Chains A and B, each alone.
Chain A
């Protein structure tokens, strides 16, 4: 799998390259500025882009803007955005086109290599990887004034949280140490309580949940 990586800090870029290579990814390019990223995304047609939000020369949200522009040019281009801080505002912009294949994670998540690589693979496959903090923020807001959400059991909320992060039933089951069938049951309960259409497609399911959590804002 070919990766374009954009990160301006040498130590982090180097570390990410080594980690990705250790997990058999091919680094198509490792760049450090916005313009370089735009060029690499256009020329190299990678399977996934791993992008730092803040990039030179402007040191604003240049990485995010480049990623969004690249996705407009090539809808569904898998993009995993990394940042020192997560903002629901940015998550919403990444999810706005509703096609999936987006990830938005805190840089801290690279501490857990396996989970991070899992997120990269998920996004590359067209799935979603949302940082737990984003989901936490969404849930805190929604729970204050949302009745259907209030009807979920604590366990169902837990499952919803992991689901919104983009995890598959299998991953959720192994994290909560229950069977996949139990998770499937929880999910159908959650969808019924929130009056969402059940879908077999994991990806569409995640997007539906995220849209539900972010609606009316």
Chain B
């Protein structure tokens, strides 16, 4: 029995000891965190503001990247301890800076990074709410010891027992008795502190994460959109390849086979029946011409040659020239776009034009293509027709195909088409000019 009891006591002691050490560690960490959060964030915030203010003067161009790197280091340090102390993961999401960027480009690249901006927004939060949430657990664990000290005799420093010389929390300390009350309050606070400090420290890091990490909801939505558009892109390119295969198989390939056969027959006939051979020769030539025509149409459907040779502007102009109805084109593109965007935009315009002619019964079409450098670059295309209107982005309509096509590039399709017309289809694709 004794042994059992003893061992039980020892167990309690060791768990108690471990707990004490753990709680003490939490308190120390929280205290250190509070001090670092306050001092670090204030210093870095001031430096950042000063550095950014100095950007127009020129000095800021050089200093800002340094200060921002320090801020990043400060934030990364916090990310590290968050994961190590409380298991709160705050993934960093900085964009890589181009290797040989000049200071100017470097500075603005950094300032344009959403992750860096979140860092800067976090600094004021950290010096206020962050400081408080770090200080609270530290205070809950340290403050009780002042109560115990008062009860142990510290009260004599403040009063001789005749007046209230010190307030411990809400307890007026005016003698040994009230000092004991202070100790009782301290004990109560300590109990609360021991149980809540780890959670409070965690609250600090959760707060940090809510500011530093990009929104999870936003991220989930982005993942959903990307999955969807990727599926669309894969599906449509597979369908496209199947169509090309079929066209080649039934078209040009078959014609070339026929041509080879004719040539073989000609070879056999050339001496026996020259007239018949000549007739077959003409047929072989026709076959080769037809094969070429089919290949040409196929190529136009894969990647129109004008698009490769001249870019989107002239490709749309050439497309307009092929329209059976009057089509005005206004292009403002100071450079070439990326090949995939060009192609998507071209086929989107083609589809919209076909709709306007086939379904809207339009007599005139206006196309406007322009690129604005704002918001990282945006290609805007609007196609307006004077047809009967009533176009919608519905299932199976050509426009939903256009929407999917643009979706791969985070492009947006908007249709305004009241019954009776006019119809205006606007497409926007974020992209840069090269």
Residues of A within 8 A of B (CB): 53-54, 59-61, 83-85, 87-89, 108, 111, 137, 140-141, 144-145, 217
Contact = CB atoms under 8 A, between A and B. Distances in A.
Nearest to A83: B305
B309 A60 contact: yes
Majority SS at the chain B contact face = helix
A144 B292 contact: no
A85 B363 CA distance: 27
B77 interface: no
B299 to A, nearest CB: 7
Given A60-B308, A89-B306, A111-B289, A84 B296 contact: yes
A85 B296 contact: yes
B310 A137 contact: no
A88 B324 contact: no
Nearest to A88: B321
B323 A60 contact: no
B314 interface: yes
B323 to A, nearest CB: 7
Interface residues of B, number: 23
Interface string B292-319: 1100100110000110111000100110
A111 B325 contact: no
Contact of B321 (A87, A108, A144, A145): A87
A108 B292 CA distance: 7
A47 B162 CA distance: 124
9 contacts: A61-B309, A83-B305, A84-B299, A85-B296, A89-B314, A111-B288, A140-B324, A141-B324, A144-B324
B309 A54 contact: yes
Contacts of B322: 88, 137, 141
B325 to A, nearest CB: 6
A117 to B, nearest CB: 16
Contact of B305 (A54, A88, A217): A54
B310 A60 contact: yes
Given A61-B309, A61-B310, A85 B321 contact: no
Contacts of A59: 308
Contacts of B326: 145
Nearest to B295: A84
B115 to A, nearest CB: 39
A88 B324 CA distance: 13
Contacts of A111: 285, 288-289
Given A137-B321, A217-B321, 5 more contacts: A85-B300, A85-B305, A87-B321, A144-B324, A145-B325
Contact of A89 (B285, B296, B318, B323): B318
Contacts of A141: 321-324
A140 B325 CA distance: 9
A114 to B, nearest CB: 13
A53 to B, nearest CB: 7
A85 B326 CA distance: 23
Nearest to A143: B324
A60 B315 CA distance: 13
A137 B293 CA distance: 15
A89 B306 CA distance: 9
Interface string B319-356: 00111111000000000000000000000000000000
Contacts of B325: 144-145
A87 B324 contact: no
Contacts of A88: 318, 321-322
Contacts of B363: 145
A108 B322 CA distance: 21
Contact of A53 (B285, B299, B309, B321): B309
Contacts of B309: 53-54, 60-61
B360 to A, nearest CB: 15
A217 B322 CA distance: 11
Given A60-B309, A61-B309, A144-B324, A85 B299 contact: yes
A53 B306 CA distance: 11
A61 B309 CA distance: 5
Interface-central residue, B293, B305, B309, B323, by most chain A CB under 10 Å: B309
Nearest to A141: B324
Nearest to A89: B318
Contacts of A54: 305, 309
Contacts of A217: 321
Contacts of B323: 141
A114 B320 CA distance: 34
A60 B285 CA distance: 29
A103 B292 CA distance: 20
A103 to B, nearest CB: 19
Contacts of B300: 85
Nearest to A140: B324
A108 B306 contact: no
Nearest to B325: A144
User: 7 closest A-B pairs (Cβ-Cβ)?
Assistant: A61-B309, A88-B321, A60-B309, A89-B318, A85-B305, A87-B318, A144-B324
Interface in B275-292: 285, 288-289, 292
A108 B309 CA distance: 20
B410 to A, nearest CB: 28
A149 B318 CA distance: 23
Nearest to A216: B326
Contacts of A108: 289, 292-293
